[in-house]
Amino acid sequence: MKIEIRANAETFEIEDGTSVEDFIRKIGVDIKRCVVELNGDVLKREKFSGTALKSGDVLEIMQIVAGG
């Protein structure tokens, strides 16, 4: 079954039960170099794989970039 979520102000249709980690990998972001908010709350990296997305969830995914 497909569900809709929003990530970085864009709507995505994904399989129900997709984890945050699976979604991040699907969109091509390195999970070791990002910070994620789920419905306004910061999600610890160790919870990415065990947190299933639900219809209507809102993600903000910020990539950490080094440089100077």
CATH number at residue 54: 3.10.20.30
pLDDT higher than 70, residue 15: yes
pLDDT higher than 80, residue 7: yes
pLDDT tens column, 31-59 = 999 999 999 999 999 999 999 999 999 99
Task: State which residues form the domain around 20.
Answer: 2-63
pTM here? 0.91
Nearest Cα residue to 29 out of 59, 67, 68: 59
pLDDT higher than 70, residue 10: yes
Residue 23 lies in a domain: yes
pLDDT higher than 90, residue 65: no
Domain count for the chain, please give it: 1
